[in-house]
Chains A and B, each alone.
Chain A
């Protein structure tokens, strides 16, 4: 079945069921609206950062005195190298820098092979039918930290880490979650639905850098396989309802009290395999229910280095 645009589906579904058209974007909630700005650093000083955005504009942002930066470890914003790709959480309509993540990447996938040796190790990962394979380097100095949360460095087990891109190579630095104890094909069954479908489902929301630059969207695990053209879709350990590419999700960050309406733009076939919890504020119910683009995650108040937030997700 040919798949047309996400926007068109939204319009057609709203017309057929007499629904109102939800416009994507942040809903007013607690606190000031956050903006995310992405781009490449052209110049940085202790008080000002100049970046080149993907659409070719030059943005000059004031760095707040409390602002911090991350590039493999916590650094001062002024120490970031020019040329680094950054995601900035900005306040005041996107003029004041609150937090900077430089060259950050998230490596989520199924372990295919692990290089032997005692020093830096190379790991080959399968990242789903749409994202293909990735190679990640596990530096010796980060391996202890990773192995504590990922005891199984064996083919077939899931891997989820946050790292930095250096010279085009992804280097894992922090574990993004505790590794599920099962192989990726053995996801636990969802509990029986005792009382129909719930309109809001709680679980954990994570981010991924597999979206297009600046894309505000989400990947959702529970899509019909025939619709999403993805044989790995439709698996989750939470009782999730079926939705489609183009459905609008109402994603609430329970920790920060922020809500956004985001379209489903991708199949979260690997996110559904993780039956983990988020400990960002209290313990979330089990199950990764949505994977957000980095910009959407930042605008919802998430911290990219923590990797998740407790989320409540509903339709529209």
Chain B
């Protein structure tokens, strides 16, 4: 029974190693600002010019272990994985002591949350899993995956669940997906708003009042974009026609107003929709 569980952890270890290596390489490639690595994992413990090599070196180590575990059943790689996670536990412990403000960087920049007991617990569990695989039959990882029984599948799921519970990154990733920046804070292209305006009913209703179809001014305020066109009122006086387009949604609200040269709004509706009554 114990051997079954221990053997089933090989795919779990491989999945974790693959995810870690991938996320680290991604972070290293997308490094948008210098200094971002100084807030991440073991890179924070070395001098600046060694930070990127340290991160990439860590990822390379993970790839070597991953390939070794999956393609061979040699105990060297199993001992290697156990050593790797044991050393990681020590490094995280040291990181927590020396730089309590930095994240573990285990999964690149998603792991920017300061190292806590959960991250430490995760590497300890991974170490235990790796040590456990040493005493299982020496078969390559792909053979284990190919021949998974139901009981082993349950053990894999159990291992993944334990690791998920110990991963603060999952909450962070979910929060990033769930909360997009609100409309007011998103950069939005003026040409999209212009095409939404051109296809709106308000545009068709007022197009004949415009003396040019090129806007003379355009600006954005919060979630509204304004376009100003030169035009004339029903009476024939020159006036500015201003359209305001809401920037969110496929069929956004469009408001329109007409303002004369002196800054007074001109009534543009031919009939008032409702006549205010005062009692």
Binding site for B on A (CB under 8 A): 1-4, 8-9, 11-13, 15-18, 181-183, 185-188, 190, 192-197, 222, 224-227, 234, 239-247, 315
Query: In this complex, what residue of A is CB-closest to B244?
Result: A16
A12-B226, A193-B179 given as contacts; is B217 within 8 A of A1 (CB)? yes
Q: Identify 7 residue pairs between A and B in the complex whose beta-carbon atoms are under 8 Å apart, listed by A's number.
A: A4-B217, A8-B263, A193-B181, A197-B184, A197-B185, A242-B222, A243-B220
Across the interface, do A239 and B181 meet the contact criterion of CB distance under 8 Å? yes
Q: Which residues of B contact A (CB under 8 A)?
A: 32-35, 175-176, 179-185, 187-188, 190, 215-222, 224, 226, 228, 240, 242-244, 255-259, 263, 265
Known: A186-B34, A224-B220, A227-B220. A16 touches B255 (CB 8 A): yes
B255 touches A182 (CB 8 A): no
For residue A315, which residues in chain B have a CB less than 8 angstroms away from its CB?
Answer: 221-222
**Closest B residue by C-beta to A181:** B35
Q: In the docked arrangement, what's the CA distance between A5 and B22, Å?
A: 52
CB distance from A103 to the nearest CB of B (A): 37
* B180 / chain A contacts, CB cutoff of 8 Å: 193
Q: Are the CB atoms of A234 and B187 closer together than 8 Å?
A: yes
Q: Please, which residues of chain B bring their CB within 8 A of the CB of A222?
A: 185
**Which residues from B are CB-within-8-Å of A195?**
179
A11 to B220, CA, bound (A): 14
CB pair B256 A16 closer than 8 Å: yes
Contact check: which of A9, A15, A197, A241 meets B265 at CB < 8 Å? A15
Distance A315 CA – B257 CA, assembled complex (angstroms): 21
A residues near B263, Cβ cutoff 8 Å: 8, 11
Main secondary structure of the interface of A (DSSP, over half): loop
Q: B2 to nearest A CB, angstroms? A: 43
Q: A242: which B residues are within 8 A, CB to CB?
A: 184-185, 187, 220-222
Query: B216's contact among A4, A185, A196, by CB below 8 Å, is which?
Result: A4
Whether A193 and B242, one on each chain, are in contact in the complex, defined by CB atoms closer than 8 angstroms, is no
Q: A16-B255, A17-B224, A192-B179 are in contact. Are A9 and B185 (CB under 8 A)?
A: no
**Is A193 within 8 A of B182, CB to CB?**
yes
- Asked if residues B185 and A3 are in contact (CB atoms below 8 Å), the reply is no
When chains A and B are docked, how far (Å) is the Cα of A245 from the Cα of B187? 16
Please determine whether B259 and A197 come into contact, CB atoms closer than 8 angstroms: no
Taking CB atoms, residues of chain A closer than 8 Å to B257 are 12, 15-16
Please name all residues of chain B whose beta carbon is closer than 8 Å to the beta carbon of A16 when the two chains form the complex: 226, 242-244, 255-257
On chain B, the residues within 8 Å of A183 by CB distance are 34
Whether the pair B219, A246 counts as a contact (CB closer than 8 A) is yes
A12 and B216 contact, CB distance less than 8 A = no
| Extra inter-chain contacts (17) besides given A12-B217, A185-B33, A186-B33, CB under 8 Å | A11-B259, A17-B255, A186-B32, A186-B35, A192-B175, A192-B176, A193-B179, A193-B180, A193-B182, A197-B222, A225-B187, A234-B187, A242-B220, A242-B222, A243-B221, A244-B219, A315-B221
Q: Are A245 and B244 in contact (CB under 8 A)?
A: no
**Residues of chain A within 8 A of B240, CB atoms compared:** 8, 12
Q: How far is the CB of A13 from chain B (nearest CB, A)?
A: 6
Q: Are A13 and B244 in contact (CB under 8 A)?
A: yes
4 pairs of A and B residues whose beta carbons are closest in the complex: A241-B184, A186-B33, A244-B219, A15-B257
In the complex, what distance in Å separates the CA atom of A188 from the CA atom of B183?
20
